[in-house]
Structure 1
Amino acid sequence: MTYNGLLTTFPREIKLFIGVFVIILSIGFFTGLLFVKQADSATPAGVEENYLGNEEDEEAAVMKFKKGDREMLTIVHTHILSMSFIFFLLGGLVWITKFPKKWKLFLTIEPFLSVLLTFGGIYLMWKGILWLKYVVIFSGTLMTLTFTFSAMLVLLQCFKPNSGQ
């Protein structure tokens, strides 16, 4: 079965449907990043403070408390499940774009590893392995870059003029 470039052969209406889906998915994804920025979790110190609190810092502008067991399990559980679906759907679309197979393999497998490293790292950091905050930042950044590139790849091929019926 030939699937490389299959997206470009779809009728205009199907490509529009896929394109709108990827745009809305991207809005949701990047809104989540706004939350990360709002919570000051874009730095290793910010990640640690967001989950472990800052009660000892008397000069903190905003007091943050260590997340409880239930809250941490909810965060990890919901993010791993939802991000898995996001990257499964986007990955399926990446596989039908016209692009080199090795790059598609990277773009579709890497996000799952980053999801595990990011949210598993957050959980283990919360449990006391503090150096994982650096893994969380790295894997979260790589996941964002991969999402962005994959979404742009799909969108470009959906909206490329004269590429379908």
Structure 2
Amino acid sequence: MEFNGLLSKLPKPIRVFIGAFVIILSIGYYTGLLFVSETSTASATGIEENYLGNESDENADVMKFKKSERQMLTIIHTHILSMSFIFFLLGILVWLAKLPMKLKLFLTVEPFISVVLTFGGIYLLWSGFLWFKYVVILSGILMTLTFTISALIVLYQLTFNKQYPNNFNQ
């Protein structure tokens, strides 16, 4: 069975369903990024303070304390599981899109590497390897770029379907 390009060949009701899913998934993903921005963890210093605390900074606007091991394991556990599902489901849709094989492979495997680097990096930062804050930033940026590109490709191919007429009776 040929999967390349199958996404745009699906009947309109299924494409609408998948499109709604990708839009809601994207809203959830970007809301998470807003939360990261709100907690000032969008910078190297902010990431470090969020997990290691800032008790020694007398001029801090918001006092933050070092996370406990239990808190760290909860954060890492929930994020790795949920992000794995997000990228697995979006990856299935990317594999159904009409794209070159190497691009599909990159867009569907890279996010899993970034998830491990981002959340493993957060744990290693918390463990005292302070330079991992830069790995967290870079892998987080790459993860977001691959999410955005994948979601846009899927939405584009769902919307601009040349295979079937746009009616719900298909």
TM-score, length-scaled by structure 2: 0.95
Q: Aligned partners of 2:129 and 2:94: how far apart in 1? A: 35
Contact 2:7–2:158 at 8 Å: present in 1 too?
A: yes
Mapped partners of 1:39, 1:70: distance in 2:
20
Whether the aligned pair in 1 keeps the contact of 2:8 and 2:162 (CA below 8 Å) is: no
Q: Deviations over 1:23-76 (max 9, x none)?
A: 000000000000000010111111001100000000011111111111100000
Partner of 1:42: 42
The answer for the alignment partner of 1:8 in structure 2 is 8
- The answer on 1:143 being equivalent to 2:138 is no
Amino acid in the other structure paired with 1:32: G
Q: Which runs of 5+ in 2 are unaligned?
A: 166-170
Q: Residues 50-129 of structure 1: matches in 2 within 5 Å?
A: 50-129=50-129
Q: What amino acid is aligned across from residue 128 of structure 1 in structure 2?
A: G
| Greater Cα offset, 53-62 or 155-164 | 155-164
Structure-1 separation of matches of 2:66 and 2:164: 53
Structure 1 gaps of 5+ residues are: none
Determine the C-alpha separation between the residues in 2 that align with 1:129 and 1:86.
28
- Tell me the residue number matched to 1:24: 24
1:161, distance to aligned residue in structure 2 (A) = 4.6
Amino acid at match of 2:89: L
Q: Shift of the alpha carbon at 1:163?
A: 4.0
Alpha-carbon distance in structure 1 between the residues aligned to 2:131 and 2:90 = 31
In structure 2, relative to structure 1, the CA distance for the partners of 1:161 and 1:10 (3 Å cut) is closer
What SS is found at the alignment partner of 2:57? Answer: coil
Q: Tell me the C-alpha RMSD between the 2 structures.
A: 0.8
Shift of 1:159: 1.0
Q: Distance in 2 between matches of 1:164 and 1:18?
A: 16
Q: Give the distance between the partners of 1:95 and 1:127, measured in 2 at CA.
A: 37
Q: CA deviation at 1:164?
A: 3.1
Percent identical: 67
Counterpart residue number, 2:168: none
Q: Could you list the runs of 4 or more consecutive aligned residues of structure 1 that deviate by over 4 angstroms after TM superposition?
A: none
SS at match of 1:142: helix
Aligned mates of 2:38, 2:163 — CA distance in 1: 40
Q: Distance in 2 between matches of 1:135 and 1:16?
A: 37
- TM-score of the superposed pair, with normalisation by structure 1: 0.98
Q: CA shift at 1:160, angstroms?
A: 1.0
State the alpha-carbon separation in 2 of the partners of residues 161 and 15 from structure 1. 9
- Give me the whole-angstrom Cα distance separating, in 1, the residues matched to 2:158 and 2:30: 20
Query: Do residues 132 (structure 1) and 132 (structure 2) align?
Result: yes
